[in-house]
Amino acid sequence: MLSTSETSDRSPSAHVATPPAAAPPRAPLGFLGLACAVGVSTIYYNQPLLLEMGQTYGATVGHVGFVAVATQVGYAIGMLLFVPLGDVLERRALMMRMYGAVAVALLLVAIAPTLAWLIAGSVLIGLLASVTHIALPIAPDLVSHEQRGRAIGTVMTGLLLGILLARTFSGWVSRIHGWRWVFVVAAVMNAAFVPLLWRMMPKLPPKQNLRYPEAMRSLWTLWRTQPLLRESCVLGALVFASFSCFWTTVAFLLDSHYGLGPGVAGTFGVVGAAGALVAPFAGRLSDKHGSRWVVAVGMTLLALSYFLLWGEELLKMPTALHVAALFGGVVVLDGGAQMVQVANQTRIFGLVPGARSRLNTVYMTVYFSGAALGSALATVAWTHWRWNGVCGQALVLIAAAALWHWMGRKIGNDASRSRTSKSEVEEDFLEA
């Protein structure tokens, strides 16, 4: 039986029945979190470095901002093309190949002779960094259904720390050796992670005997048959678009308003890392109260964060007070985004346990498409309206997410009443 109502977030009885399987391998959740951190960090190294890159190539802010967009577009495409392989191939070997390949892509960016080369290399980094979302769906396999939220929260802590500390790492390394060395060091880190995977991870065969074309066709089946998945995808995309508005343009703000460089922009990653601490807490709240409640709290925090971040322009704060509000706003921003993400993934991973990589493919492809859209819109907003435009746009995106969330309660309840038989769901997957 498969239910898309809120109770399906918490109840093991909502899962599709699957044949008895051997006990799952016990790879440590902490190591999976590290795997996610190493993978996802590669797509965020460029954000504090955009001004330096623009100076290298003589490019305007409007042009160099699309380096960040290119990376996120590549990431979304990579999740669509590569992440379904997690339900088709042995996952340890797949992850090792992809970490090795992303190391090569990072070196190509490090030697990029032109802005066009840099953008092309950034797309390639994004494509291969999607290995993060081959690792993430492993987490629920390692615990009982009742602990699904906690496990996802633990691994998501590593993922968010990778996102935030990547900016800190790149900002300060660039001050010592220049922006190109950031990507050289990152390439070495990813290459070194390949033998670590061999040592730390057990073999992880696929749960189903699928061919790649069948797995790809089933993505549409999942989208078509799972209203809760569709709701989570759109909600996640809107939230992450608003999140990306800040991180794409914060280096521009600090440079134009305060004359601060990429090192300080990267330091905001350390501040925001405090928000990562909310992930295990959010996972436990999802297990206890249901994901819909956690999503509502997370979006409230996101809205509050932008009123803090907008402080100087909106409330005419003194400069010193605005800088303090920026630091506080980053903590609240990252905590709110993390709560929404953990809650969304807790509920989608409970829908079809045998298709978790493909569920994650659908969700994260839409999610990072939202990030790319948010980065692109933020670059345009900054060019025309500066910080007022960026913060106003982010709040509009959060308002749209809140409306979608409110509508989703009725949509989810209607869907659960209309699709409650196990046979209906199984027929959908046989068609795929």
Mean pLDDT of all residues in the chain? 81
Among residues 79, 49, 17, the alpha carbon closest in space to that of 216 is found at 79
Give all strands (DSSP E) within 155-231, no chain letters. none
The CA-based angle 102-191-152, given to 5 degrees, is 70
CB 262 within 8 A of CB 174: yes
CB 413 within 8 A of CB 280: no
d(CA 284, CA 281): 5
d(CA 2, CA 159): 29
Neighbours of 42 (CB within 10 A): 30
Rg (CA), the chain: 21
pTM: 0.71
Residues 321-364 have pLDDT tens digits of 777 788 888 889 988 988 898 889 888 988 887 788 889 889 98
Q: What is the per-residue pLDDT for 410?
A: 60
Q: What is the per-residue pLDDT for 313?
A: 62
Residue 254 has pLDDT above 50, yes or no: yes
Q: Which residue has the higher pLDDT, 167 or 333?
A: 333
Residues 33-63 have pLDDT tens digits of 888 898 889 998 998 888 899 999 998 877 8
For residue 3, name the pLDDT band (cuts at 50, 70, 90). very low
**SS3 of residue 74 by DSSP:** helix
- Whose tokens are 């959060």? That residue is 398
The CA-based angle 66-241-351, given to 5 degrees, is 125
Q: Report all structural domains of the chain as residue ranges with CATH numbers, in order of start.
A: 25-431 (1.20.1250.20)
- The secondary structure element, H or E, covering residue 141 is none
306 CB-side CA count, 13 A: 26
Expressed in angstroms, the distance from the first to the final Cα of the chain is 18
62 CB-side CA count, 13 A: 6
Q: Concatenated DSSP letters for 322-369? A: HHHHHHHHHHHHHHHHHHHHHHHHHHHTTT-GGGHHHHHHHHHHHHHH
CB 295 within 8 A of CB 339: yes
What percentage of the chain reaches a pLDDT higher than 70?
82
- Going by the DSSP 8-state scheme, the letter that residue 277 receives in this structure is G
Q: What is the per-residue pLDDT for 121?
A: 94
Q: Which residue has the higher pLDDT, 144 or 39?
A: 39
Among residues 267, 394, 421, the alpha carbon closest in space to that of 333 is found at 394
Out of 59-63, 152-156, 407-411, pick the least confident: 407-411
Spatial neighbors of 1 by CB under 8 A, at least 6 apart, are 13, 14, 15, 16, 17, 420, 421, 422, 425
d(CA 347, CA 332): 23
